Chain A
Amino acid sequence: MVQIIVKNVAKDFGKKKNAVHALKDISLEVEQGEFLGIMGPSGAGKTTLLDIISSNDRPDHGQVLIDDIDMTQQHDRELAKYRRRKMGFIYQSFELLDSLNVQENIILPLVLNHAPKKLIKQRVEHMNDLLNISELKNRSIDDLSLGQKQLIAAARALINNPEILFADEPTGSLDSKSATVLLNYMQMINQREKTTILMATHDAFTASYCSRVIFIKDGSVFSEIVNSGQRTDFFEQVINMQRTIGGGSYFNVPENN
């Protein structure tokens, strides 16, 4: 079942002579429970597209429909509520609040939604078990490693059981081991909880965890590839597509690799 429909979305930044066309007439559809990767070189428009789909930004033209609701026609207040109820976000820079401890960071979305204490407790225990972070709950954010911080960010994104998870370069700040741990968790969540995941990345290894990857170049959808089930094959496909788009060196992948 199609959950997200993006229709002819365009977005410019700047004015007149200095205007930059971040997105040009992009259209795409995302199935419920799909793990979609959005790839492209830096400045291609990945984050802008993610922001517009997640209703954090508004397009200049076009429509974004989620569960048949036209998000572009909703009031900011309604959108904020919708985001908090149905969406979760993981950012490259984690966006954790240093003034709160680990547990407080995780439960923040539920507390903002005025969830009952009992539910908060249940969900925290569930996330602790799912992501294996029980021993971190009373620690300060400053005391965590980068990988742990991203896990906490993921726990916060998932605490309110979102239908859609947006991840913007989630492995960008992580070493390969931490990145693998996080991606395995995301895949598990996608499969177990049937959460739709939209992930922007420029890393082929990260993208290989997706069920489908769309490639953006200069603000337009250039191509897309679907994961047949074999991750190594899919990884190769992604690398090849990167070469096609950017001439290899664009993605730090040498031509003779």
Chain B
Amino acid sequence: MYLKIIRRGLYNFRDSYLIYILSCSFAITVLSVLATIVDDPSLQMVRNWHANLKSLMQGMMFIFAFFTFIYMIYVGGFFVKQQRQEFMTYEKLGMSRHIVAVIAFIQTFIVQIVAWLIGMLVAVILQKFFGMLLVYLMHVRMEFRFHFSMVAFHMMFQFFITSALIFSLVNALRVYWMQRKNSKRTRLHLNDFCKSLLGILGAMLFLIGMFVSIPLIQESKQTNVLDEILPGVMVVMLLFLVGSYLIYYGFLPLVLKILEKIKTFSYRGTNLFAYKYLRKRLVQNTSIIWFVTELSALALTILIFCFMGYQIVHSDYSNSYPFEISANQNTAKEIRNELNSNGSKVKKEYSSPVKKTIGQIYNQNTGDYEQRLVMAMPYSSYRNMPKMIRKNNPKINSHQFLEIRGNPQTLYTKYRDAKSSVIIQNQQTINKVKIGAFYPFGSAMFSEIAMVVPDEYFAKLPTKFSDTFYGWDFHGSDKLSHKFIKKIDKKNNPNSIRVKVGSNIEKSSLQEIPNSEDRDWHTNEYNQVPYVRQANARIQIRQLTGIFIFLIFIFSIALLIALGSLLTLKVLLKDDYEWRQLKTLKKVGLTENELKQIVRRETSFLFTIPIIFALAQSVIAAIVINVALKQSSLLSFGMIGLAYIALYGLVGILTFHLSWRSVKQRIN
């Protein structure tokens, strides 16, 4: 008898349970895959895996496990709520509260077993695929072998037993409390007028948030310091958070109510019923829609940040290593000889004379002039550099000056003419310089500030420290052996130069200082590396970006599934009253198409609102990115926003079909 009740309960909500089970299974699959990948023997061979990648993966796994747990426990409660009437009837018929709670416990436990079994089974099937994807994204040349260790299995089994018992127990307690006679909760019930007032206030707060964010965007273009706009950003976030909730709570219901009252709209087809129905569904699901909106906005923001972060890492990498190898005159000869002998296919060799001198440069952060080492190179050599390097800096002609700074904040500036002049020792003041970010031979080759100067200026520049920088591009890789790298590392210690600051720039001087590994570094001491090689960093960058893309991909999909299924379940799980209303409409004479239109409107409404408000709120991310990274995030924002709309649209379409299917089944 009890088993029959449990079976019936599961069968009646089969569509909704299926969605819940599938979304839980996906989360469990991802969790299991992450757990197995962390200890995978193939990946243990990857360089840097033990250094930082493994701990990163482990950290992400626990974050994912936490959110999975929250999702499963929260959404699991929907079904208990849905069966409230049924459980109350059992109690009325004489079944003890304990028995009803046990029924809920077993029902939940069965669902959990199914979800975990499917999840783990899919994990076993997909583990190799996920591993191969990770290895591919990390650009590691190795064969990823299927491995499901007993340690991982044991851990997942423990997770399964613990979570299934906890979720079942929580649902049993929910049902037990639900049946208590005096369990009436005291809730604040506001009348429609108060709700509408709060809704109008919410709309105003949201609009104020939007208006405040416009000057913030403007300000973000002017300032380099995040602290200056952070209070503004926090205020806008607060306005959006409170505003959007109040809009859902009072404003949108008010708009629907007004539409109901305007007979031109409401006395038209199904509108008479639809506006009221939508309003009721909105009021019922206010918290969920708000929750989905805010999480979607957060997800969008994180995605935009991650995407921008990836672009910056990539850009920074290109800036540090524009050539496969760059070297100064001390190592260039050796490297050239080795390249000739090892059969490397050199595409082109670049070179430029460099002079080291002292410059008085304006520091935007301190607001003062500071004496710094300046490494100058002539315009003619700069012009011969690959276009890829020059296109990242502002254009200059043969009479103009270009200052290239190592400050990361200026790396992505929209290059502006400097407001202050630059004074070079023993030279006339340069009144106007353009500021760039892309170092011709890589940022590592230059210390602090590089300047591209007119050829005549360069020729007249007196210095006792001059050098020549070289850069090589190849067809394929440089083929330098590990042994050779070790040899030049041993032979060529980096040189160091100190700027001895005098009372004025003319009295300052440059001094070469002996290098020793244990010496203390002071301000105005600069290191000159003998060479930089792209291959050394490439592996690390590729591994790190690969693992980030992998994790972001998985997290985004999981978040999308979680939020989408939350909305889908809310659309599907209608209470008896709502089913009765739809059935009545059918009896009154509504055609299937008209009923379908009501379901379509409901689904579109519940899906479109979070999309609109989430996109509006994630504009904050764009503001912060503009300031913090000094790069326009419009393109990333647009791309991620469109992807979000497309994916949520797909989930919405799927939900509509599922919802219509279940409505059709129930009303016929």
**Which chain A residues (92-117) contact chain B, with CB distance < 8 Å?**
95-100, 104, 107-109, 111-112, 114, 117
Enumerate chain A residues within 8 angstroms of B587, measured Cβ to Cβ. 56, 89, 91, 95
- A99 lies within 8 A of B581 (CB): yes
At the interface, yes or no: B263 with Cβ under 8 Å from chain A? yes
- A96 lies within 8 A of B276 (CB): no
Residue in A closest to B582 when the chains form the complex, CB atoms: A97
At the interface, yes or no: B269 with Cβ under 8 Å from chain A? yes
Most buried by A among B269, B277, B583, B589: B589
Stretch at the interface among B332-340, B407-415, B565-573, B591-599: B591-599
In the complex, A220→B280 CA distance in Å?
A: 45
**Which chain B residues (107-159) contact chain A, with CB distance < 8 Å?**
none
- B589 lies within 8 A of A80 (CB): yes
- A156 lies within 8 A of B267 (CB): no
Residues of A within 8 A of B (CB): 56, 76-77, 80-81, 83-84, 87, 89, 91, 95-100, 104, 107-109, 111-112, 114, 117, 120, 156
Within the complex, the shortest CB–CB distance from A154 to chain B, in Å, comes to 13
At the interface, yes or no: B291 with Cβ under 8 Å from chain A? no
* B contact residues, total (Cβ < 8 Å): 25
- A112 lies within 8 A of B276 (CB): no
- A97 lies within 8 A of B584 (CB): yes
Within the complex, the shortest CB–CB distance from B662 to chain A, in Å, comes to 19
What are 14 sample pairs from A and B whose C-beta atoms fall under 8 A apart?
Answer: A77-B592, A80-B592, A83-B589, A95-B583, A97-B273, A97-B585, A98-B581, A99-B276, A99-B280, A111-B266, A111-B268, A112-B269, A114-B269, A120-B267
In the complex, A84→B588 CA distance in Å?
A: 8
- A109 lies within 8 A of B276 (CB): no
At the interface, yes or no: B270 with Cβ under 8 Å from chain A? yes
Enumerate chain A residues within 8 angstroms of B273, measured Cβ to Cβ. 97, 99-100, 108
Assuming the contacts A76-B592, A91-B587, A95-B587, asked whether A100 and B577 have C-beta atoms less than 8 A apart, the reply is no
Enumerate chain A residues within 8 angstroms of B583, measured Cβ to Cβ. 95
- A95 lies within 8 A of B589 (CB): no
Within the complex, the shortest CB–CB distance from B274 to chain A, in Å, comes to 10
Other than A89-B589, A107-B272, give 5 A-B pairs with Cβ distance below 8 A.
Answer: A80-B591, A98-B577, A111-B267, A111-B269, A112-B594
Enumerate chain A residues within 8 angstroms of B581, measured Cβ to Cβ. 97-99
Assuming the contacts A97-B581, A99-B277, A99-B280, asked whether A108 and B591 have C-beta atoms less than 8 A apart, the reply is no
In the complex, A97→B271 CA distance in Å?
A: 14
In the complex, A76→B280 CA distance in Å?
A: 30
Within the complex, the shortest CB–CB distance from B316 to chain A, in Å, comes to 59
In the complex, A97→B270 CA distance in Å?
A: 13
Within the complex, the shortest CB–CB distance from B62 to chain A, in Å, comes to 46
At the interface, yes or no: B539 with Cβ under 8 Å from chain A? no
Within the complex, the shortest CB–CB distance from B374 to chain A, in Å, comes to 77
Assuming the contacts A99-B276, A117-B267, asked whether A109 and B588 have C-beta atoms less than 8 A apart, the reply is yes
- A81 lies within 8 A of B591 (CB): yes
In the complex, A80→B584 CA distance in Å?
A: 14
Most buried by A among B268, B277, B584: B584
Within the complex, the shortest CB–CB distance from B188 to chain A, in Å, comes to 23
At the interface, yes or no: B217 with Cβ under 8 Å from chain A? no
**Which 6 residue pairs across A and B have the least CB separation, nearest first?**
A80-B591, A84-B589, A95-B584, A99-B276, A111-B272, A83-B589
Within the complex, the shortest CB–CB distance from A172 to chain B, in Å, comes to 15
Within the complex, the shortest CB–CB distance from B599 to chain A, in Å, comes to 16
In the complex, A56→B583 CA distance in Å?
A: 12
Enumerate chain A residues within 8 angstroms of B593, measured Cβ to Cβ. 77
Enumerate chain B residues within 8 angstroms of A87, measured Cβ to Cβ. 589
In the complex, A32→B303 CA distance in Å?
A: 70
Enumerate chain A residues within 8 angstroms of B229, measured Cβ to Cβ. none
Residue in A closest to B263 when the chains form the complex, CB atoms: A117
Enumerate chain B residues within 8 angstroms of A97, measured Cβ to Cβ. 273, 581, 584-585, 588
**Which chain B residues (265-290) contact chain A, with CB distance < 8 Å?**
266-273, 276-277, 280
In the complex, A98→B584 CA distance in Å?
A: 10
In the complex, A123→B75 CA distance in Å?
A: 48
In the complex, A114→B584 CA distance in Å?
A: 19
Enumerate chain B residues within 8 angstroms of A89, measured Cβ to Cβ. 587-589
**Which chain B residues (621-645) contact chain A, with CB distance < 8 Å?**
none
Enumerate chain B residues within 8 angstroms of A104, measured Cβ to Cβ. 272
Most buried by B among A80, A89, A98, A112: A112
- A95 lies within 8 A of B588 (CB): yes
Within the complex, the shortest CB–CB distance from B256 to chain A, in Å, comes to 12
- Kindly identify which residue among A77, A98, A107, A114 contacts B591, using a CB–CB cutoff of 8 Å: A77
At the interface, yes or no: B590 with Cβ under 8 Å from chain A? yes
Enumerate chain A residues within 8 angstroms of B276, measured Cβ to Cβ. 99-100
- Kindly identify which residue among B277, B577, B590 contacts A112, using a CB–CB cutoff of 8 Å: B590
Enumerate chain B residues within 8 angstroms of A77, measured Cβ to Cβ. 591-593
Residue in B closest to A95 when the chains form the complex, CB atoms: B584
Enumerate chain A residues within 8 angstroms of B588, measured Cβ to Cβ. 89, 95, 97, 108-109, 112, 156
Enumerate chain B residues within 8 angstroms of A112, measured Cβ to Cβ. 269-270, 272, 588-590, 594
- B577 lies within 8 A of A109 (CB): no
Enumerate chain A residues within 8 angstroms of B266, measured Cβ to Cβ. 111
Enumerate chain A residues within 8 angstroms of B592, measured Cβ to Cβ. 76-77, 80
Within the complex, the shortest CB–CB distance from A251 to chain B, in Å, comes to 27
Most buried by A among B268, B588, B592: B588
Enumerate chain A residues within 8 angstroms of B590, measured Cβ to Cβ. 80, 112
Residue in A closest to B260 when the chains form the complex, CB atoms: A104
In the complex, A42→B80 CA distance in Å?
A: 36
Within the complex, the shortest CB–CB distance from B593 to chain A, in Å, comes to 7
In the complex, A108→B271 CA distance in Å?
A: 10
In the complex, A156→B267 CA distance in Å?
A: 15
Enumerate chain A residues within 8 angstroms of B277, measured Cβ to Cβ. 99
**Which chain B residues (538-586) contact chain A, with CB distance < 8 Å?**
577, 581, 583-585
- A96 lies within 8 A of B589 (CB): no
Residue in A closest to B588 when the chains form the complex, CB atoms: A108
Within the complex, the shortest CB–CB distance from B590 to chain A, in Å, comes to 7
In the complex, A112→B595 CA distance in Å?
A: 11
Enumerate chain B residues within 8 angstroms of A100, measured Cβ to Cβ. 272-273, 276
Within the complex, the shortest CB–CB distance from B592 to chain A, in Å, comes to 6
In the complex, A233→B583 CA distance in Å?
A: 40
Within the complex, the shortest CB–CB distance from A125 to chain B, in Å, comes to 16
Residue in A closest to B272 when the chains form the complex, CB atoms: A111
**Which chain B residues (250-267) contact chain A, with CB distance < 8 Å?**
263, 266-267
In the complex, A96→B590 CA distance in Å?
A: 14
- B272 lies within 8 A of A108 (CB): yes
Within the complex, the shortest CB–CB distance from B271 to chain A, in Å, comes to 8
Within the complex, the shortest CB–CB distance from A106 to chain B, in Å, comes to 11
Residue in B closest to A115 when the chains form the complex, CB atoms: B267
Enumerate chain B residues within 8 angstroms of A156, measured Cβ to Cβ. 588
Interface string of B587-617 (1 = CB under 8 A from A): 1111111100000000000000000000000
In the complex, A121→B614 CA distance in Å?
A: 43
In the complex, A87→B269 CA distance in Å?
A: 18
Residue in B closest to A79 when the chains form the complex, CB atoms: B591
**Which chain B residues (45-87) contact chain A, with CB distance < 8 Å?**
none
Within the complex, the shortest CB–CB distance from B230 to chain A, in Å, comes to 47
Enumerate chain B residues within 8 angstroms of A56, measured Cβ to Cβ. 587
Within the complex, the shortest CB–CB distance from A233 to chain B, in Å, comes to 35
Within the complex, the shortest CB–CB distance from A200 to chain B, in Å, comes to 14
Most buried by B among A56, A83, A91, A97: A97
